[in-house]
Amino acid sequence: MKVSGAWLDAPKTQAVFAALTEQGHTALAVGGCVRNALMGVPVTDVDIATDATPKTVTKLAENAGLKAVPTGIDHGTITLVSASTGYEVTTFRADTETDGRHAIVRYSKDMSEDAARRDFTMNALYADATGQVLDPLNGLPDLNARRVRFIGDAQARIREDYLRILRFFRFAAWYGDPALGFDAGALAAIAVSLDGLEGLSKERVTAELIKLLAASDPAPAVGSMSQTGILQAILPGSESRALAPLVHLEHEAGVAPDAVRRLAALGVYDSDALRLSKRIQTRLALYQRLISSTERPLELGYRHGKDMAADVLLLRAALFETPIDKSAMRDAQIGAKAEFPVKPADLMPTYQGPALGEMLRKLETRWIASCFTLTKADLMP
C-alpha cells in the first residue's frame, strides 16, 4: 500500500528525505501525516522518524544545505527547515522509564521499538519517501475500521503519559466510527487511571479539550467521558447534556463547529481547571450573561454582532431544549446590519457632556424597542 500527495511529493519534503538517507540512514514519515493521507484527511504537518541520532541528523542536514534547529533535543527531535517549512525529525526511541508525564528514552535503531512506544495503532504507521506504507504493529485494520485502540496494554500506555486518556477521546471524536462505540479495554484502563489526570498541567488539558470540542461531532466522546468520570475530573461542575443538542442545532443552522461555543454548552464559563486566554474568558463571560438575558434577537445582533447573536440563540435552544427559531436567526442578522439613525451632532448643542450620552441611550432604547422602525424624525426630542 502506498500514500501520495503534495505533502510527500513536494521537492522540499523530498529534500529532507534525501538529506537524511544520504549515508544509508532510514527516514520515514510517521504518525498523523500517514494516518490522514490514508483516511483522505488533509495533512498539515509532516513528522519524520529516523535511525540517525540528533547529532547525525544535524550534520546530514547541514551537508545538504538545510537549516537544523534543536527544538526538542531532549526528546531526540531536530527541526529541519526546507524551503521555509519546518519538519520535525525524531530519532527512533524506546521508553526506559516514565512518571506519567515525562518519559526517559533511549535511542533505537529499530522502527518496531519506536512504534511500540506510540499511543494508538492508527498512529504507528510509517511511509518511506516513495509513499510505501510500513505497518509494524498491524495498525491498518484498525485505521480502516476507524477503530481507536491503544498499542499493546492500554493501562501501560496510559501510565506512560496520562494525557493519553484525553487523546483517546479526541481521536475517537475526530477519527473513530461512532457506530463501533468505544474500545472496552481502553475504557476499563481509563476508569482505573483517573488519579493520573491530577498531575497534568492545565495547559495540556486545555489544549486537548479544545481540540476535542472542535471535532465535527464530539458529543459521543464527551458523553463517554462523562460516564467514566473523566469530564468531572478535568472540569468540575460541567454537564454534557446540552452538547449533543447543540451539535444537532449547529448542523441544522449550517453553523461551523466552534470549541468555545461548545465549552459554554458544558456549562463552563469560568474554570480554574483550565488555562484559557483572556479573549476566550471574555467570550465565555458574555455567553453566560446573554444566555439568561432578555435581549431579543434583533437587539442581540445589533449590540453584539451576528456571530455572537447566533451563538447565543443556539446555546439558549440547546440548554433549554427548544428547537432553533429560524426567524430569530434572521432577526439577529437584521439587527447586526441596523444603524442607529441619530448621531451625537443631531442633539448638539442642546445636549452636552453626560446629558448628551444619556439622551442618546434613551433614544437608542426606544428605537430598539420599536424593532428599528422609528425614524430619526420620530426619535428627535
pLDDT tens digits, residue range 335-363? 999 999 999 999 999 989 999 999 999 99
101 and 119: one domain? yes
The two beta strands, 27-30 and 47-50, are antiparallel
The cell for 317 is: 435552544
98 pLDDT exceeds 60?
A: no
What is the DSSP secondary structure assignment for residue 94, as one 8-state letter? E
pLDDT per position as a tens digit, 228-278? 999 999 999 999 999 999 999 999 999 999 999 999 999 989 889 999 999
135 and 7: one domain? yes
CB-CB contact of 11 with 140 (8 Å)? no
16 and 110: one domain? yes
101 pLDDT exceeds 60?
A: no
What is the DSSP secondary structure assignment for residue 256, as one 8-state letter? P
13 and 87: one domain? yes
196 and 222: one domain? yes
pLDDT per position as a tens digit, 272-328? 999 999 999 999 999 999 999 999 999 999 999 999 999 999 999 999 999 999 999
Helix (H) or strand (E) holding 253: helix 243-253
103 pLDDT exceeds 60?
A: no
Question: What is the average pLDDT across 48-63?
Answer: 95
Tell me how many domains the chain contains.
Answer: 4
Rounded to 10 degrees, what is the CA torsion of 233, 234, 236, 240?
-100
Boundary residue ending a domain (233, 263, 292):
233
Write out the residue range of the structural domain in which residue 250 sits.
235-338
The cell for 165 is: 486518556
User: Tell me, what's the pLDDT at 116?
Assistant: 92
In sequence order, what are the beta bridge partners of 49?
Answer: 28, 90
User: Tell me, what's the pLDDT at 106?
Assistant: 79
Helix (H) or strand (E) holding 47: strand 47-50
242 and 222: one domain? no
Q: How far apart are CA 66 and CA 83, in angstroms?
A: 9
Cα-Cα-Cα-Cα dihedral sign, residues 185, 187, 192, 194: positive
- Environment class of 332 (CB within 10 Å of its CB; exposed 0-12, middle 13-18, buried 19+): buried
Boundary residue ending a domain (233, 250, 279):
233
Q: How far apart are CA 334 and CA 230, in angstroms?
A: 42
221 and 346: one domain? no
Alpha carbons within 13 A on the beta-carbon side of 351: 17
124 and 188: one domain? no
59 and 134: one domain? yes
Return the residue matching grid coordinates 450573561.
289
240 and 229: one domain? no
Give the residue among 189, 194, 147, 151 at the shortest CA–CA distance from 172. 147
How many C-beta atoms surround the C-beta of residue 289 within 10 A?
A: 12
> The domain that contains 225 carries what CATH number?
1.10.3090.10
In sequence order, what are the beta bridge partners of 30?
Answer: 47, 126
Return the residue matching grid coordinates 442642546.
350
Residue 232 phi, psi (nearest 5) = -65, -30
How many C-beta atoms surround the C-beta of residue 83 within 10 A?
A: 11
Give, in order, the Cα–Cα distances in Å from 341 to each of 306, 330, 381. Answer: 19, 21, 13
Q: How far apart are CA 196 and CA 162, in angstroms?
A: 6
Boundary residue ending a domain (123, 145, 167):
145
pTM for this structure? 0.89
**Higher pLDDT pick, 109 / 73:** 109
Confidence of residue 127 (pLDDT cuts 50, 70, 90): very high
141 and 33: one domain? yes
> The domain that contains 32 carries what CATH number?
3.30.460.10
226 and 302: one domain? no
